[in-house]
Amino acid sequence: KAAAAVRRRTLGSLLASSRVECYLRAHHGVSSYPPNYHHPWRPVNYLRLMTTSTSNNGKVPKSKSNIERSVCPSTGTPLLAPAGLLFDYESITSPGTSSDETNDDDLDVCLLPKDDDNLTEHVKPPESDFFFIPQVKLHDGDGSQRKRVLVLCTGGTLTMAPNPDKGGALSPVPGALTDFMKSMLELTNNKMPDVVVHEYAPLLDSSDMGPPDWQVIAKDIKANYLYFDGFVILMGTDTMAYTATALSFMLENLGKPVVFTGSQVPIAEPHSDARQNLIMALIFAAREVPICEVTIFFHDRLIRACRAQKVNTGELHAFDSPNIPPLATTGIAIKEREHLILPPARGVLRVHTRMDTRLLALRLVPGFDDQILRHTIQAGAESGSLRALVLQLYGTGNAPAVKEDF
């Protein structure tokens, strides 16, 4: 027992200890491991590119948390089907034997996940010298040099290719991204991460995405959070800033990078900007010292998601953050503005999925009819369909002072 206690103080033994086993049991909500299950931090025989799809006749591994579509009041039904757990357990080699035995009665109450109507938490860390076990590098001591990145593709311009069913017109084509990435020689470079690609079905134009689909993406990140070093979200550019901003608030205490990107030119075109954006997004998602927050990479800059705006529809420089410099820019080298980067998260990851869309956003222009505004607010309040009003005013927030009704 004394020897076992000493071994638990080391990182390698800690990951194989009974306390971590209890942690994994609490996270997956099962009383015992499924057949042939091993710790995810052990050596992995990983393909350079693994692909999945929600429309492959049910062959996608399902999350043990039994993720379902979450329909909050007034948000609607998601168009994206949840991906669930995308980590391949069969690719994990046996970790060897351990003399530590685990008793089901040893489960600590503090390790159990907590769910309520407003948020979902990952399990809390056990008492140890480490802040949070899931934030330990996945590859310490397992002989693997590459990091692992999960790519979630929702559609958009990047996935467009000539569609034979539509007479060769450009439209989102399932599998086009996967085929393109299989041919990318850059992904064979030892400096690039191992990549798992998941294409949602159906592929969506970003203008069709809303809060229910944001919930699906957030839950899929949660389901795969412990098994990947970073996440890349591919989608259309029209509502990318909205989706990325929402995810930045939905993923509280995020300890891994989540990078959004897309393209202005379809991936099938020879002058497409998709290749560069995708490669740089993968690099930022797998850096040795990652920027652990939700960001957007486009053209030559990494932008904080909640400060991003789409500023151009006709040039490759599509996104910018007008009131804050980019977190990093790319050229011959990557230049980071370290003073702008958030400190590492020191708490458990919380995934907020409950949202209310009963709000109205109005942008005021000179000469507006305040009676129309008044009637709109009154009608919404009386019917219960309006709970919040967001007014975009002039300058730093100036409103008309002489309009008594306003």
Catalytic residues: 157
Q: What are phi and psi of 321, to 5 degrees?
A: -125, 95
Phi-psi domain of 50 (left: phi exceeds 0; alpha: psi -120 through 50; beta: other): beta
- For the chain, report the end-to-end CA distance as a whole number of angstroms: 74
Q: Calculate helix-pair angle for 240-250, 211-223, nearest 10 degrees.
A: 50
Cα gap 84→221, rounded to integer Å? 9
DSSP 8-state assignment for residue 70: -
Amino acid at 141: G
Which long-range contacts (C-beta less than 8 Å, at least 24 apart) are formed by 271-278? 273/299, 273/316, 274/158, 274/180, 275/184, 275/186, 277/158, 278/158, 278/181, 278/232, 278/234
Closest CA to 355 of 217, 249, 262: 249
- By three-state DSSP, how is residue 157 classified? helix
CB 44 within 8 A of CB 91: yes
- By three-state DSSP, how is residue 153 classified? strand
- Strand order from edge to edge, sheet including 120-121: 120-121, 350-351, 251-252
